[in-house]
Amino acid sequence: MFDKEKIESIKTKKEEWDCGPVEKVCAKFPERRPTFTTISGEEVERLYTPTDIADFDYDLKLGFPGEYPFTRGVQPTMYRGRLWTMRQYAGFGTARETNERYRYLLQQGQTGLSVAFDLPTQSGYDSDHQLSMGEVGKVGVAIDSIDDMRVLFDQIPLDKVTTSMTINAPATVLLAMYLALAEEQNVPYNKVGGTVQNDILKEIICRGQYIYPPLPSMRLTVDLIKYCYEHVPTWNTISISGYHIREAGSTAAQEMAFTIANGISYVQACVDAGMEVDSFGPRLSFFFNAFTNVLEEVAKFRAGRRYWAKIMKERFGAKNPRSMMMRYHVQTGGVTLTAQQPLNNIVRVALQTLATAYGGAQSLHTNSFDEALCLPTEEAVTVALRTQQIVAEESGAADSIDPLAGSYYVEAMTDRIEDEIHEYIKKIDAMGGTLKAIDEGYIQREIQDSAYRFQKEIESNERIYVGINKYIMEEPPPTNLLKVDPKQQEIETKKLKKLRAERDQKAWKAALDGLDKVSRTDENVMSAVIEAVKAQATVGEICDVWRNIWGEYRPKEFV
């Protein structure tokens, strides 16, 4: 970008500036801190100049939107063509209540659905299971059988919306229910669009909703990917997630690095199962966090896109550019929200939304300001959605593609984060891959160390958090919180009892036996799962088939 002579001259002038005016001012008015760092602990310079990106090669590093290495975005026109999908994650209580919230959100201009399941569903237990006590309908909707799924999507045509489902260990089961429901609505599989999270590795690393040991879990992941390639071509088969890694305490660079490491494992597993990288590569998607430090987040997204493109092209030999595109959903940072002075969270979310827009995401969930207190109320969800709409329609952030490119700061930070990602990938490769690195507790410890460092910084006031360690106010306890009916489990248990008594026992048993048989071979389980859900087998019953074959995962704890 600059010739050598020019760089040298800028370097000299910068030194003069540092030793001259800067030193003089600092002697009288010292800077606020000895060093400045991002929320991830990346040191930030006083001033960035062309010398920080002296070797910058535009074609190699950036290229053009929609072209390799996709640093500037995955589509040629980005948000000038179509805004990102505004997709609020929602679900609570019964399928009926959640269906009402979905239809409300669609009326308000939301463009995609995102299903939050309760923890029993996510862990593969029915609502009447002993371990479901107290959890039914709490953090998401309770889905036991296809009957609940039918109510969840009542009056929502499955060829008109796309649906993202946060479901991992039992992803095959919930996708099977969705497909069976599409059939009932006469929507062909190739008109069904959406995403299942289906990312078991990050469950094991940090999110905790695992069921089976890693290897059979990965088999289910691969079966789903393969089935969709053959039958549901527009389904995003996995959402490789850094979101929860970041929530667990990682830095921005670690979030991207460990997510890409997991991505490499999934691609390798599919290749090992005999699939062509370009057959499934275009349907892989990602899911990231966005914190409040706008520039660091933008750099993270750009670095991740560039690095993933290289991995797919160079390491896995992908030929189809679509396989190289890191397409991703973003959710604003849950852990960045404070229970103190909760309205301040609206501002945090707005900045995080801006970072997401500048970063080039494909879809976004904005958190509601009351989420450090409870599930969001309708009012809070509306403000969160409006925040996206204001950034999209008023701020101008969506009008020019990758507008922060060329900033000395952003390019230098992008390079630095990419280097950090690369170092982690090298280290994990040397350990023998993510499964080994997880088994040894390496990834978990790296994340926990970052979480610990952050907490210490807050408690020593090295890092300021408004309402937590500065600008603290006495405030009355918050009111108007959303309550989930504690009778939920009773309601669901009654429904299950009826279902179990009234369904066609013969068909039900035959379907579960069929699933058991297929699962003991190398054949793809998906068709058998679809048969089972059609025969009204429950999530818990289907997951039990596999528990009996594969056992349950018990992690080592690394504290």
Among 42, 97, 135, 144, binds another protein (CB under 8 A): 135
In one letter, which amino acid is 66? G
Q: Which three-class secondary structure state does DSSP give residue 209?
A: coil
Distance CA 65, CA 63 (A): 7
Q: Return the residues of window 185-214 that contact another protein according to CB under 8 A.
A: 203, 206-209
Smallest distance, another protein to C-beta of residue 249, A: 5
Smallest distance, another protein to C-beta of residue 4, A: 48
The tokens for 5 are 């002579």
Smallest distance, another protein to C-beta of residue 371, A: 9
394 in contact with another protein (CB under 8 A): no
139 in contact with another protein (CB under 8 A): yes
Distance CA 34, CA 47 (A): 15
374 in contact with another protein (CB under 8 A): yes
132 in contact with another protein (CB under 8 A): yes
Distance CA 173, CA 126 (A): 13
Smallest distance, another protein to C-beta of residue 368, A: 13
Segment near another protein (CB under 8 A); pick from 52-60, 216-224, 373-381, 513-521: 373-381
Segment near another protein (CB under 8 A); pick from 107-115, 222-230, 243-251, 518-526: 243-251
5 in contact with another protein (CB under 8 A): no
Smallest distance, another protein to C-beta of residue 208, A: 2
Give, as one character, the DSSP assignment of residue 117: B
What H or E segment, with its residue span, contains residue 552? none
The tokens for 1 are 């970008």
Among 151, 269, 271, 339, binds another protein (CB under 8 A): 339
Of 317 and 486, nearer to another protein (C-beta) is 486
Among 12, 455, 505, 548, binds another protein (CB under 8 A): 455
DSSP readout, 454-516? Answer: HHHHHHTTSS--BTTTBS----PPP-------TTHHHHHHHHHHHHHHHS-HHHHHHHHHHHH
Distance CA 286, CA 273 (A): 21
119 in contact with another protein (CB under 8 A): yes
DSSP-assigned beta bridge partners for residue 289: 331
For 2-35, give one letter per residue: b (16+ CB within 10 A) or e.
Answer: beeeebeeeeeebeeeeeeeeeeeeeeeeeeeee
Q: Return the residues of window 483-522 that contact another protein according to CB under 8 A.
A: 484, 486
The tokens for 261 are 């490491």
Among 111, 234, 320, 340, binds another protein (CB under 8 A): 340
477 in contact with another protein (CB under 8 A): yes
459 in contact with another protein (CB under 8 A): yes
Give, as one character, the DSSP assignment of residue 548: H
The residues, any chain, with a CB within 8 Å of residue 159's CB and separated by 6 or more, are 182, 185, 187, 191, 192
Among 478, 490, 498, 551, binds another protein (CB under 8 A): 478
Smallest distance, another protein to C-beta of residue 481, A: 6
Smallest distance, another protein to C-beta of residue 54, A: 39
Segment near another protein (CB under 8 A); pick from 174-182, 402-410, 451-459, 495-503: 451-459
349 in contact with another protein (CB under 8 A): no
Among 448, 493, 500, 507, binds another protein (CB under 8 A): 448
The residues, any chain, with a CB within 8 Å of residue 182's CB and separated by 6 or more, are 158, 159, 188, 189, 191, 192
452 in contact with another protein (CB under 8 A): yes
Kindly tell me the burial class for residue 122, based on how many C-beta atoms sit within 10 Å of its own C-beta (0-12, 13-18, 19 or more): buried
335 in contact with another protein (CB under 8 A): yes
Segment near another protein (CB under 8 A); pick from 116-124, 178-186, 215-223, 495-503: 116-124
Size of the site for another protein (CB under 8 A): 44
Of 292 and 524, nearer to another protein (C-beta) is 292
Q: How many CB atoms lie within 10 A of CB 426?
A: 10
Distance CA 239, CA 316 (A): 19
474 in contact with another protein (CB under 8 A): no
Distance CA 82, CA 362 (A): 10
Cβ–Cβ under 8 Å, residues 554 and 205: no
Of 132 and 414, nearer to another protein (C-beta) is 132
Among 248, 298, 303, 401, binds another protein (CB under 8 A): 248
Q: How many CB atoms lie within 10 A of CB 449?
A: 14
338 in contact with another protein (CB under 8 A): yes
Instruction: Give the binding site for another protein (CB under 8 A).
Output: 119-120, 122-123, 125, 130-135, 138-139, 203, 206-209, 247-249, 335, 338-340, 372-375, 448, 451-452, 455, 459, 467-468, 477-478, 481, 484, 486, 555, 557, 559
